[in-house]
Amino acid sequence: MSKLITKTNLPFATYFITGTDTDVGKTICTKALLQAANKQSIRTLAYKPITAGCEETNEGLRNQDALILQQHSSITVDYDNVNPIAFKEPIAPHIAALKTQQVISIDTINKGLATLQIEQPQLLLVEGAGGWHLPINDQQLLSEWVVEKQLPVILVVGLKLGCLNHALLTAQTIQQSGLYIAGWIANHLQPNMPYVQDNISTLKSLIKAPLLAEIPFLKDIDEQELSSYIAVKFSS
């Protein structure tokens, strides 16, 4: 793993966490950012407005990623405030909504965000679902909501064959929408990707945003303390 990541200063704010695809480690990277901020004695919250792939419990549908975000936020809130829109099947959320005769409402997403902002977190991380252009119905994308809110974006790049194209296309699309990429995270998805540091070097030269972290491939990563990999100082 590269040790030459320059520490980046990021202001207290609400950031949107997106990825180059589904299953690239958005939740792991969001958890790492929360852990790093918590070590800096910062009031943190995380929000995952939409999930698909939940277990039925006595308390209702529960998504493992949302539970991780709830656990690692320094401010305690109810699960439904972290994840207001949940579907059981691990499929595209807008399809899950159609199958269950539900509607993914922008009003619900806005209300959930406002509810968390009442808690006055210094750092609020909003994790998307899937990649950047996630449909929430036949006419709207979640990315359009991010543009409406003008949230700065942190991009998680899952390091695998094809990641260069996926990362550059995603970064270009975000910037063309008028949004600011606050930084990106390189997340190792396999133990021995060929020429991985060459890929990271290429991305560092072509993505016009700082590399905030390089998360290694770790056994039982869900249980790991990851703050040491985050090269960020949060400040007012």
Distance of alpha carbon 227 from alpha carbon 37, whole angstroms? 8
> Rounded to whole angstroms, how far apart are CA atoms 68 and 51?
13
Q: Which of 48, 149, 219, 233 is catalytic?
A: 48
With both helix axes pointing from N to C terminus, report the angle between 142-149 and 106-117 in degrees, rounded to the nearest 10: 40
Token representation of residue 28 = 């792991």
Q: How many CB atoms lie within 10 A of CB 132?
A: 23
Cα 61 to Cα 100: distance, rounded to the nearest angstrom: 14
Q: Whole-angstrom Cα distance, residue 147 to residue 8?
A: 24
- Known active-site residue 48: yes
Q: Which two tokens stand for residue 62?
A: 């529960």
Active-site residue set: 48
